[in-house]
Chain A
């Protein structure tokens, strides 16, 4: 006789990652740190955006960067010039950061720096429009970048990333004269699935729009600090 039974688990497949993310966020909250998860496809301009941000806000905020990179420290080296703690995490074969990897970064932050003195941790995720959207790392806000060379349709094709974003930066707007691209169309496509997202158009090259991004960061950090 062959009898079968059922055990109902009803567990989220990402349960372990989610618990890790909540744990990371508790650490950030305890230290009064705001954390943003910066995501985009490779080459959308995450690192240069961070460079501009570190340079512009270093007198106003105490910042640190957790830098996800598959195998190199090229990005981390670029950011170290700004005299902020830059903690590299090589994800190896993995195409995204998960909460456990970021926990390793937090551990370094705790033991090699003084986290009580830090206001903002910027996590630069691995360049990828798919996987990072599913793996929360303990951030308070998700920031997605879309460069205008990628095309208007990307939000429709990679909806989870754009649906989850709290802030969308449309980057490389200085290239608009050379491309057949409709910037309004990008915004419309994103708003179809995420009507409340903050959309900021920027060019790191000319500096256009960066002031709006810097203000957004500072507003978020002050709001979160009040909550802490």
Chain B
């Protein structure tokens, strides 16, 4: 269950960002980008995030995971193709090995969506 460790890393990174903000914002959503050619399962990540953020500043924050498909580029055919994970990785047209992965290895925190608590208070006055 390495998603637990990944979630820990995610929480620490967001915490660093949160603590660097002068006016503590209200975090609403965290957007992640997870490639299909990684060892990370989005469902497990969602579960780990929900459990690990309970009763913290990230409780109730929504984790939005964008799945990025595996896309490789075949230099022989000069075209992109989508390898079938678990079945075939070489080029379906010429059988050249998968050497150039164009997407699918991503594992990153893309952005944080937040609302400014102060702005809200000012308006309500």
Residue positions of A touching B, CB distance < 8 A = 1-17, 94-96, 98, 130-131, 133-135, 156-157, 159-160, 163, 191-195
Q: A157 to chain B: which residues have CB within 8 Å?
A: 86
Query: Are A15 and B115 in contact, with the CB atoms below 8 A?
Result: no
A192-B90, A192-B97 as given contacts; A160 in contact with B37, CB under 8 Å:
yes
Does B61 reach chain A (CB closer than 8 Å)? no
Q: B97 to chain A: which residues have CB within 8 Å?
A: 191-195
Residue on A with the closest CB to B112? A7
Q: B86 to chain A: which residues have CB within 8 Å?
A: 156-157, 159
Q: A156 to chain B: which residues have CB within 8 Å?
A: 86-89
A13-B107, A95-B2, A131-B39 as given contacts; A192 in contact with B89, CB under 8 Å:
yes
Minimal beta-carbon separation of B86 from chain A (angstroms)? 6
Query: Are B108 and A12 in contact, with the CB atoms below 8 A?
Result: yes
Q: How many residues of B contact A (CB 8 A)?
A: 39
Residue on B with the closest CB to A157? B86
Does B32 reach chain A (CB closer than 8 Å)? yes
- B88 touches which one: A2, A160, A192 (CB < 8 A)? A192
A12 to B17, CA, bound (A): 14
Query: Are B5 and A5 in contact, with the CB atoms below 8 A?
Result: no
Q: A191 to chain B: which residues have CB within 8 Å?
A: 97
Q: B40 to chain A: which residues have CB within 8 Å?
A: 13, 134
A194 to B97, CA, bound (A): 7
A192-B89, A195-B97 as given contacts; A5 in contact with B107, CB under 8 Å:
no
Q: B116 to chain A: which residues have CB within 8 Å?
A: 3, 5
Within B6-42, the residues touching A (CB, 8 Å) are 6, 9-10, 12-13, 17, 25, 28, 32, 37-40
Q: A135 to chain B: which residues have CB within 8 Å?
A: 2, 5
Query: Are A17 and B9 in contact, with the CB atoms below 8 A?
Result: yes
Minimal beta-carbon separation of A215 from chain B (angstroms)? 25
